[in-house]
């Protein structure tokens, strides 16, 4: 029906048609309930997601279920669980004190520009918006090694904004750490701690010294009741350990540790109260997952999904995930399955390809859960981290960390948001990159499926992911750079543009917003962001119809064109206004590397400029710098060559879809004007899905497999499937 925001038979229709505003509201309420930092420490106690169970369930499973099976949120059972979880979090926030102990770091020297007190950890349970926080973090688990400590602040630059020196980072740095809290126990016992040689500490209980410098007085008994605990420590080197022990066992499982002095009600609530959130989340997610599996109702598909995912778990756990990378390419075998017609859509592709892919992301990133990493100072990803801290922890939300954007803008906000959810750990960036790459692969699936059939769609999706995993781009997953995020946002914008072709204004505006964010994330991708508007054309409009404007102009969704281009232009205006606000210069490129990286330098001979352009384009298409042949890049080369030949009118290739071909070529426009350097494969990421799609469609055309016949006039049935048929005049 005209004006509907969900056309049946295709994605985003199959996925988005149930996403009514009320469903989105319930999803957002559940997000708030899941991430609300709980007063009671447990498996699902909210942000930061520093445990294996909550990082996987809340960080991966929940977003996947919400996106691909949102209809479950319309059930009374789901909404009852959501309300109960939110009410429990609110009740405990008002009535109970915070579990854990307050950890505060005191560096020997100032640690960051505009820093006025102790450094912050990415811990929402601490007073993270205070200029001088009482707690850098809340300790609810033992710190077994250096990376377990909430010491992410070592990634920050010194106050002069230069790179950290030898005395600013371990092992050269010296840091003071204090731990404060209360211990409540019903039995007498000895409070002890396991420490390492680089941790010199003393522990006090109610003003009485328990032990100092890892020796003496460790046999002091604490009577039953509540005791105030203070630990003073000096940390040097990088061999750190601090494991509080009660009666010889891990404190966090054998006693009650709180930030404030607990009341009798606190003491009474804690034994069973800490499992309430865990029970509600487990019940909700278990029922939601069962509902999605019941929706599939296909033994071959579910067997493949479970089998491929379990194999991924086994193979990806060793050798830095290399075996799992090759297993991604083996997902091509999914084309041999007998898939029911109702699953020959993006939901089915998600089960066959997306679930094993996300499993790979979980397995290879699992060692990072609950642990921080030290970034190499001066690199691009280190810059994003420091800017994210300045935005979120120091409150420079509009400035974004710097008045101008020498480094790409929006990704620093993304990094800050991920750290708020996952804490000091960078595991969220791995999950985010995996989701963005999956979006590009599902775009490839959808286009190839509409043009050539479901099996060719699976081939396109697996080809896209295989190029990422087997080529030079693999190292960028989870590294902390902006290219994957920009690609994911732009391809998601293309999906919404396709959805908006049938009169959905929200889809057109969403496409424009996502395309704008894709540009903000990577400024080089502006041509591709504007190219999202080509999906205002029928998806399978052949290139040969481009010479008949009277035919295709009548098929253009001008609502989509206006929504995408209008929103993008507004985004550009706001971007330039922000630069003017801080610098007095109204420009998109002021303060960026545009002039330095430009291929069109004043006074340069044309032959030199042409050579630079050729090198830039080939760097993108070969995924190597300097350019060299790489068989992993064959889909990029093939898709680009085929697109160029199709636009020149080569027979048979003229039947390729016009919109995807233009989208593919638009991805190369940026390389005609600027050339990046270093990080081989980095500047190819945004074109991998588009070129792989065209390469697969061309292969399908060559084999004459399930090729769509074209008719001049759209039929009603084609409108419902977002497929336009064209007949010869």
Tokens of 573: 């205006």
246-250-255 Cα angle (round to 5): 55
Task: Provide, rounded to the nearest whole percent, the portion of the chain with pLDDT above 70.
Answer: 92
Residue 598 corresponds to which tokens in the numbers above? 């430009």
pLDDT tens for 265-291 read: 988 888 888 899 999 999 999 999 999
At residue 319, does pLDDT exceed 80? Answer: no
pLDDT of residue 708: 41
Q: Does residue 402 sit in the same domain as residue 548? A: no
Same domain, residue pair 627 and 614: yes
Clarify whether residues 108 and 84 are in a common domain.
Answer: no
Query: What does the mean pLDDT of the chain come to?
Result: 88
pLDDT at 361: 94
Q: Mark whether 134 and 190 lie in a shared domain.
A: yes
Residue 165: per-residue pLDDT: 79
- Work out the average pLDDT over 507-532: 94
User: Looking at 137-146, 154-163, 193-202, 239-248, which range is the least confident one?
Assistant: 154-163
pLDDT higher than threshold 50 for residue 17: no
Sign of the torsion angle spanned by Cα atoms 463, 468, 472, 474? negative
φ and ψ at residue 38, rounded to 5 degrees:
-80, 150
Give the C-alpha distances (Å, rounded to integers) separating 182 from 4, 298, 324, 384, 397. Answer: 58, 54, 46, 37, 36
46-65 per-position pLDDT tens digit: 999 999 999 999 999 999 99
284 and 315, same domain (yes or no):
no
Please compute the mean of the pLDDT values over residues 499-511 and round it to a whole number.
86
Identify the band that residue 704 occupies on the pLDDT scale cut at 50, 70 and 90: low
Q: Which of 3-17, 568-582, 673-687 has the lowest mean pLDDT?
A: 3-17
Domain check: are 32 and 153 in the same one? no
Per-residue pLDDT at 281? 96
181 near 257, Cβ under 8 Å?
A: yes
Check whether 634 has a pLDDT greater than 50.
yes
Residues 6 or more apart whose Cβ sits within 8 Å of residue 460: 441, 444, 445, 447, 448, 449, 692, 693, 696, 697
Identify the burial level of 207 via C-beta atoms within 10 angstroms of its C-beta, where 0-12 means exposed, 13-18 middle and 19 or more buried: exposed
Q: Mean pLDDT throughout 16-44?
A: 83
The pLDDT of residue 229 is above 90: yes
Per-residue pLDDT at 603: 84
Contact 515, 564 (CB under 8 A): yes
Contact 14, 347 (CB under 8 A): yes
* 3-class secondary-structure state, position 504: coil
DSSP string, 595-611: HHHBS--TT--HHHHHH
Q: Is 78's pLDDT higher than 60?
A: yes
Parallel, antiparallel, or unpaired: how do β-strands 256-258 and 175-185 relate?
Answer: antiparallel
pLDDT at 595: 81
Return the top range by mean pLDDT from 103-112, 313-322, 481-490, 712-721. 481-490
Cβ–Cβ under 8 Å, residues 447 and 659: no
Q: Is 430 within a domain?
A: no
Q: Is the pLDDT of residue 86 over 60?
A: yes
Taking every pair of Cα atoms in the chain, the longest distance, rounded to a whole number of angstroms, is 96
Residue 375 in domain: no
Reported as a pLDDT band with limits 50, 70 and 90, residue 110 is confident
* Element containing residue 138 per DSSP (H, E): strand 137-139
The pLDDT assigned to 436 comes to 96
For the chain, how many structural domains are there in total?
5
Mean pLDDT of 563-572: 95
- Give me the pLDDT at residue 654, please: 87
598 phi, psi to nearest 5 deg:
-65, 140
Same domain as 673, residue 648:
yes
pLDDT band of residue 6 (cuts 50, 70, 90) is: very low
- Does 134 share its domain with 183? yes
Same domain for 258 and 289, yes or no, is: no
- Same-domain pairing of 506 and 626: yes
Residue 722 has pLDDT above 80, yes or no: no
Joined together, the tokens standing for residue 92 give 């405990």
End of a domain among 236, 262, 288? Answer: 262
Rg (CA), the chain: 28
Is residue 496 predicted with pLDDT exceeding 90? Answer: yes
What local confidence, expressed as pLDDT, does residue 16 receive?
43
pLDDT surpassing 90 at residue 141: yes
Lowest mean pLDDT among 323-332, 380-389, 594-603: 594-603
Res. 233: pLDDT tops 60: yes
**Residue 686 is assigned to a structural domain of this protein:** yes
**pLDDT(494) > 60:** yes
Q: State the pTM of this model.
A: 0.92
CA pair distance 534, 531, nearest whole angstrom: 6
304 belongs to a structural domain: yes
Q: Is residue 726 part of a domain?
A: no
For 515-657, list the strands marked E by DSSP: none
Quick one: pLDDT at residue 422? Answer: 96
Average pLDDT over residues 85-109: 93
Same domain assignment for residues 243 and 289: no
Q: Is residue 723 part of a domain?
A: no
Q: Which residues of 550-585 are buried (b: 16+ CB within 10 A; e: fewer)?
A: eebeebbbebbbbbbbebbeebbeebbebbeeeeee
Lowest mean pLDDT: which of 414-418, 550-554, 723-727?
Answer: 723-727
Residue 117 pLDDT grade (very low, low, confident, very high; cuts 50, 70, 90): confident
Query: Span 683-695, mean pLDDT?
Result: 95
Q: Is residue 516 part of a domain?
A: yes
**Span 188-205, average pLDDT:** 91
Answer yes or no: do 112 and 240 share one domain.
Answer: yes
pLDDT score of 723: 38
List phi, psi (to 5°) of 568.
Answer: -65, -45
Predicted confidence (pLDDT) at residue 729 exceeds the cutoff of 80: no
Interval 530-546 mean pLDDT: 91
The domain containing residue 124 runs over which residues?
101-262
Mean pLDDT of the 452-458 span:
94
Predicted local confidence at residue 217, as pLDDT: 53
Q: Is residue 481 part of a domain?
A: yes
């Amino acid at each position: 029906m005209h004006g509907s925001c969900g056309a049946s038979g295709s994605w985003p229709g199959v996925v988005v048609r149930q996403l009514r505003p009320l469903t989105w509201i319930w999803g957002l309420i559940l997000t708030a309930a899941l991430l609300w930092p709980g007063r009671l420490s447990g498996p699902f106690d909210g942000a930061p997601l520093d445990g294996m169970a909550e990082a996987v369930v809340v960080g991966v499973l929940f977003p996947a279920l919400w996106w691909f099976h949102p209809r479950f949120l319309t059930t009374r059972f789901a909404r009852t669980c959501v309300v109960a979880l939110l009410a429990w979090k609110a009740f405990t926030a008002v009535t109970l004190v915070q579990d854990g102990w307050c950890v505060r770091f005191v560096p020997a020297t100032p640690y960051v520009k505009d820093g006025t007190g102790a450094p912050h950890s990415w811990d929402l349970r601490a007073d993270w918006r205070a200029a001088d926080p009482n707690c850098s973090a809340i300790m609810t688990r033992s710190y077994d090694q250096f990376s377990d400590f909430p010491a992410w602040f070592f990634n920050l630059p010194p106050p002069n904004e230069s790179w950290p020196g030898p005395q600013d980072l371990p092992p050269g740095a010296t840091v003071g750490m204090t731990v404060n809290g209360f211990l409540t126990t019903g039995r007498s016992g000895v409070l002890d701690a396991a420490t390492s040689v680089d941790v010199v500490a003393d522990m006090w209980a109610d003003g009485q010294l328990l032990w100092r410098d890892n020796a003496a007085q460790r046999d002091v008994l604490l009577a039953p009741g509540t005791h105030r605990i203070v630990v003073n420590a000096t940390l040097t080197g990088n061999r750190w350990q601090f494991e509080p022990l009660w009666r010889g066992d891990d404190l966090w499982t054998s006693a009650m540790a709180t930030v404030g002095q607990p009341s009798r009600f606190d003491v009474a609530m804690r034994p069973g109260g800490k499992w309430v959130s865990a029970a509600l989340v487990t019940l909700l997610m278990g029922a939601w997952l069962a509902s999605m599996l019941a929706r599939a109702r296909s033994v071959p598909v579910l067997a493949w999904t479970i089998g491929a995912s379990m194999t991924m778990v086994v193979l990806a756990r060793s050798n830095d995930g290399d075996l799992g990378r090759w297993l991604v390419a083996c997902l091509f075998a999914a084309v041999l399955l007998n898939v029911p017609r109702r699953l020959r859509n993006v939901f089915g592709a998600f089960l066959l390809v997306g679930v094993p892919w996300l499993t790979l992301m979980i397995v290879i990133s699992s060692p990072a859960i609950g642990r921080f990493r030290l970034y190499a100072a001066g690199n691009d990803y280190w810059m994003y981290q420091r800017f994210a801290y300045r935005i979120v922890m120091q409150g420079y939300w509009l400035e974004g960390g710097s008045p101008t954007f020498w480094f790409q803008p929006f990704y620093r906000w993304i990094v800050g948001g991920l750290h708020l959810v996952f804490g000091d750990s960078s595991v969220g960036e791995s999950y985010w990159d995996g989701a963005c790459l999956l979006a590009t692969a599902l775009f490839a699936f959808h286009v190839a499926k509409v043009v050539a059939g479901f099996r060719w769609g699976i081939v396109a999706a697996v080809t896209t992911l295989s190029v990422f995993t087997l080529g030079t781009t693999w190292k960028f997953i989870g590294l902390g750079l902006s290219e994957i995020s920009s690609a994911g946002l732009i391809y998601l914008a293309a999906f919404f543009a396709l959805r908006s072709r049938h009169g959905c204004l929200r889809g057109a505006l969403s496409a424009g917003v996502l395309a704008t964010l894709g540009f903000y994330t990577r400024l080089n991708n502006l041509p591709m962001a504007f190219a999202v508007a080509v999906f205002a054309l029928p998806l399978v409009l052949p290139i040969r119809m481009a010479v008949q404007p009277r035919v295709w102009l009548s098929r253009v969704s001008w609502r989509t064109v206006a929504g995408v281009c209008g929103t993008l232009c507004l985004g550009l205006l706001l971007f330039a206004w922000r630069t003017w606000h801080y610098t007095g210069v109204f420009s998109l490129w002021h303060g960026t590397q545009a002039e330095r990286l430009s291929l069109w330098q004043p006074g340069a001979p044309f032959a030199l400029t042409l050579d630079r352009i050729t090198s830039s384009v080939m760097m993108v298409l070969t995924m190597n710098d300097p350019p060299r042949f790489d068989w992993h890049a064959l889909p990029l080369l093939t898709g680009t060559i085929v697109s160029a030949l199709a636009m020149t009118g080569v027979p048979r290739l003229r039947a390729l879809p016009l919109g995807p071909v233009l989208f593919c070529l638009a991805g190369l426009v940026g390389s005609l004007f600027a050339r990046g350097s270093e990080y081989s494969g980095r500047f190819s990421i945004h074109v991998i899905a588009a070129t792989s799609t065209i390469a697969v469609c061309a292969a399908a055309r060559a084999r004459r497999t399930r090729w769509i016949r074209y008719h001049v006039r759209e039929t009603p049935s084609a409108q419902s499937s977002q497929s336009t048929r064209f007949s010869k005049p």
